Structure 1
Amino acid sequence: MTFTGFDIVIPALVILVLLVLFMGIKTVSQGYNYTVERFGRYTRTLTPGLNLIIPFIDRIGARLNVMEQVLDVPTQEVITRDNATVAVDAVAFYQVLNAAQAAYQVSNLQNAILNLTMTNIRSVMGSMDLDELLSNRDQINERLLRIVDEAAHVWGIKVTRVEIKDINPPANLVDSMARQMMAERNKRAQILEAEGLKQAQVLEAEGRKEAAFRDAEARERAAEAEARATQVVSEAIAKGDVQAINYFVAQKYTDALAKIASAGNSKIVLMPLEASSLIGTLGGIGAITRDVFGADGPTAAPRSPARPPVTRTPEQS
């Protein structure tokens, strides 16, 4: 069987058409965008799925990952505003939003983002004191995110997060900070102790004040009662009742002897000879009482008399 030229051309044309179709069909994976260049000029962006281009005229320019990516920022030394040197490392997250800008507005996108982040870390953290740097990490992250995202916006990317991973001051500076913290805690403890002592003294003074007020009130009431009793006796004397004054004197004398007898230091009391004759008045207290209150007056429950103190005259001593 002989083949003519037409028999050879037809299969060649079929193979050429299949090859052209194969070159014109482009499949883009999910999470990626491809740029299309026509004679070296950007024309459009291919999205995930099946796409068609013109073979031999169009070609794929850049294949860009549009998923969120992480960029590790290496450790660098930063000098703070108060001249303290600290080692700082960070991490940045970004996402390509415009494939054309990310491909044609900047060369080496990751390196550009890395240098931009490191530069702004030194700028932001270098404008803060060490204490402010260690205590305001969230504020630092927010400032870095705002600055870096604004600068990288023209590249068609979105910086989603910038996080400071670690801040390492020198060892001698850490020791100084520890001593400062201990001194501050001791200061607060002494202040609290002084305030507690002050409050205790105030409460104690208020307690003494209240007790003195109540003692004075009690003495005032006792004095009022004494004055009332004296007034009653005076009125009785004014009316000619001599027994009232006798009862009043006998009562005072009895109280004085009771105090002498109840003394814990000695039960033997030396009294003048003239004073021993006054003891006889004790026998007349019952009669005076009956004369004052009358035979039908209130009677008290019998009470065992206290043993009178032994008295000695100077001659007996």
Structure 2
Amino acid sequence: MTEDQIYTLLSDSGIYLLGALFLIIIVFKGVRIVPQSEKHVVERFGRLHSVLGPGINFIVPFLDVVAHKISILERQLPTASQDAITKDNVLVQVDTSVFYRITEPEKTVYRIRDVDAAISTTVAGIVRAEIGKMDLDEVQSNRAQLIATIKASVEDAVDDWGIEVTRAEILDVNLDQATRDAMLQQLNAERERRAQVTRAEGAKRAVELNADAELYAAEQVAKARRIQADAEAYATGVVARAIKDNGLEAAQYQVALKQVEALNKLGDGAGKQTIVLPANAIEAFGDAFKMLRGGS
């Protein structure tokens, strides 16, 4: 093989090698594999051309350039604290945290420079505005509603930036020491008021129970008297019927019984008693005794 042939062979081999190398570079430049957690922004001659999604993508080598690689994973902004004044003029310090993800990288890249700082500033302004519409008690008790309102307002504000706000949280609402002392005094006063109400209700209940007991006792006494009166009325009725049926003898019989009972009570007394009787009493007692013997 002559030198010319060798030179020609080497030249042809170099051309083939350069061609293969160029083809490899073309393939390497034209094929882009995008991870699942990212999106790539492609520019052509310095202008937005396309956005590459996860997987295998093809671009025009040397014309198209991947200018930005944007993570689409959810992000958390650092916890931010901002002062706000409530509707009832109470100064509070609110700690907030926001979670978001980029859904349209082309908007985020070309419309906002520092997305984290922009979202933080937006959240701070919205938190101050929303807390300014509420009293302190409402801020403490309606925190879930406040968070929902803040999230909706932030979503509207950052919509042009290609961002989705996934969650907004109010971590804490801090008060200055003077306000805390005033709230503590108010809390103690409320506890004392409730204690007084409880004691008053207890005393009222005791009076009601005592009145119920006295009423019950009075009802029982009245019931006993009514029974006694019914018994006496029944006895009187019996006597009346006996007098009606037997005439004067029944009446004399009852009088004799009362006289004997009176004499028995006099005889049961302590000491000596002197009894003065009318002259005709002896005859009356005699008739009574006869009637008693007859009745027995």
Question: What TM-score range do you get, normalising by the shorter chain?
Answer: 0.7 to 0.9
Are positions 1:80 and 2:90 aligned together?
A: no
Are positions 1:244 and 2:231 aligned together?
A: no
Distance change (3 Å), C-alpha of 1:217 and 1:9:
same
Equivalent position amino acid for 1:53 in 2: I
Counterparts of 2:53 and 2:202 in 1: how far apart (Å)?
Answer: 73
How far the C-alpha of 1:210 sits from its partner, in A, is 2.8
* CA distances 1:2-22 after superposition (whole Å, capped 9, x unpaired): 433333222122212211221
Are positions 1:179 and 2:185 aligned together?
A: yes
Distance change (3 Å), C-alpha of 1:270 and 1:32:
farther
Distance change (3 Å), C-alpha of 1:289 and 1:223:
farther
Counterparts of 1:79 and 1:189 in 2: how far apart (Å)?
Answer: 33
Distance change (3 Å), C-alpha of 1:116 and 1:234:
same
Distance change (3 Å), C-alpha of 1:252 and 1:35:
farther
Distance change (3 Å), C-alpha of 1:45 and 1:286:
farther
% identity of equivalent residues: 33
* CA distances 1:138-183 after superposition (whole Å, capped 9, x unpaired): 1111111111112212222211111001111112221221221121
Distance change (3 Å), C-alpha of 1:15 and 1:229:
same
TM-score after normalising by structure 1: 0.78
TM-score after normalising by structure 2: 0.83
Equivalent position amino acid for 1:225 in 2: A
Distance change (3 Å), C-alpha of 1:179 and 1:18:
same
Counterparts of 1:246 and 1:133 in 2: how far apart (Å)?
Answer: 96
Counterparts of 2:259 and 2:167 in 1: how far apart (Å)?
Answer: 101
| Equivalent of residue 233 in structure 1, options 224, 239, 262 | 239
Any stretches of 5+ residues in structure 2 without a counterpart?
278-287
Distance change (3 Å), C-alpha of 1:36 and 1:247:
same
**8 Å contact kept, 2:266–2:273:** no
* CA distances 1:28-65 after superposition (whole Å, capped 9, x unpaired): 11211011111122222111122211111111122111
Any stretches of 5+ residues in structure 1 without a counterpart?
262-267, 277-284, 295-317
| Equivalent of residue 34 in structure 1, options 17, 26, 40 | 40
Distance change (3 Å), C-alpha of 1:251 and 1:219:
farther
How far the C-alpha of 1:245 sits from its partner, in A, is 2.3
Equivalent position amino acid for 1:244 in 2: Q
Which residue of the partner structure matches residue 206 of structure 2? 200
Equivalent position amino acid for 2:255 in 1: I
Secondary structure class of the residue paired with 1:3: helix
Secondary structure class of the residue paired with 1:72: coil
How far the C-alpha of 1:246 sits from its partner, in A, is 1.9
Which residue of the partner structure matches residue 194 of structure 2? 188
Which residue of the partner structure matches residue 281 of structure 1? none
How far the C-alpha of 1:271 sits from its partner, in A, is 8.0
TM-align CA RMSD: 3.0
Are positions 1:165 and 2:171 aligned together?
A: yes
Counterparts of 1:257 and 1:33 in 2: how far apart (Å)?
Answer: 126
**8 Å contact kept, 1:36–1:42:** yes
Give 1 or 2: higher helix fraction. 2
Counterparts of 2:143 and 2:255 in 1: how far apart (Å)?
Answer: 93
Structure 1 residues 106-125: aligned runs within 5 Å: 106-125=112-131
Counterparts of 2:263 and 2:83 in 1: how far apart (Å)?
Answer: 98
Counterparts of 1:78 and 1:127 in 2: how far apart (Å)?
Answer: 11
Counterparts of 1:96 and 1:48 in 2: how far apart (Å)?
Answer: 14
